[in-house]
Amino acid sequence: MSDRVAAIVPAAGRGERLGGSIPKALRPLAGRSLVQHAVETLILAALVDEVVVAAPAAELDAFTKLLGPGVRVIAGGAERIDSVRAAIAVLDETVGVVLVHDAARPLTPPGLVDAVASAVLAGAPAVIPVLAVNDTIKEVDATGRVVRTVPRDVLRAVQTPQGFRRDILDEAYRLGETLPDGVMITDDAGLVEALGVPVTTVPGSQEAFKVTRPADLVFAEALLARRD
């Protein structure tokens, strides 16, 4: 396996829950867009050699100007899975490790990126950063009635970047084209799990939270101010 590492950022989504009339990745945070913060994290990571951003087709020029010449910007798809697949297709053949990172996780520390990449380079086929779940979790039925309390000691909240051997991710996305309707795949590791490939975890970071709602932007602003 080549030790060359590429990072993919699927950033073509609209982000309805966050609101606004512009793509979610372009929402401002402390004077810069979410995607700029996320890409900077990847560039600052010691092990990342290449960054590819899948942007809305109508916003390619805007993304290119924001991210600069060192980042490759391509047209993403209607769904996240389409954007990741399009980005994988343009990676250089020498890439042996692929990281997939959410544009909506702008404050992820570069050290976490390197931790994921290092674990794959050390031999793990798939690696995800995780955090323990602190809240009590209830399983409910369609009417909202509680079915059971899920033991939280076996639960983990999953973050990005998620890292994979290139050949494993390629195979997982080929499988993704044949999955039957109704199969829920919410992240790239889910596709890899469907192959039967083991997924390893590394400790995540509280700062790698996902900006989903307006309150998350306020929290991110406060964290950035504390960093400064």
Q: Where residue 91 sits, what CATH number does that domain have?
A: 3.90.550.10
The pair of structure tokens assigned to 18 is 């966050």
Please give the Cα distance from 115 to 45 (Å, whole number): 10
Give pLDDT, residue 16: 59
Predicted structure pTM score: 0.93
How many distinct structural domains can be found in the chain?
Answer: 1
- Residue 142 placed within a domain: yes
Please give the Cα distance from 203 to 119 (Å, whole number): 11
Task: Name beta bridge partners: 9.
Answer: 53
Dihedral angle computed from the Cα positions of residues 48, 52, 53 and 58, in that order, rounded to the nearest 10 degrees:
160
- Contact residues for 26 (Cβ-Cβ < 8 A; gap 6+): 33, 34, 35, 59, 62, 63, 66
- Residue 228 placed within a domain: no
Give pLDDT, residue 2: 87
Q: What is the DSSP secondary-structure string of 99-154?
A: EE--TT-TT--HHHHHHHHHHHHTT-SEEEEEEE--S-EEEE-TTS-EEEEEPGGG
Residue 185: give the domain boundaries. 4-223
Please give the Cα distance from 38 to 27 (Å, whole number): 12
**What does each C-alpha distance from 146 to 29, 143, 151 come to in angstroms?**
38, 9, 14
Termini Cα distance of the chain: 39
Dihedral angle computed from the Cα positions of residues 75, 180, 174 and 171, in that order, rounded to the nearest 10 degrees:
130
Give pLDDT, residue 15: 63
Q: Are residues 125 and 197 in contact, defined by beta-carbon separation less than 8 angstroms?
A: yes
List per-residue pLDDT tens for the chain, 228 residues long.
Answer: 789 999 999 999 876 566 567 888 999 999 999 999 999 999 999 999 999 999 999 999 999 999 998 999 999 998 888 999 999 999 999 999 999 999 999 999 999 999 999 999 999 999 999 999 999 999 999 999 999 999 999 999 999 999 999 999 999 998 876 665 655 667 999 999 989 999 999 999 999 999 999 999 999 999 998 886
Q: Are strands 137-140 and 146-150 parallel, antiparallel or unpaired?
A: antiparallel
- Residue 31 placed within a domain: yes
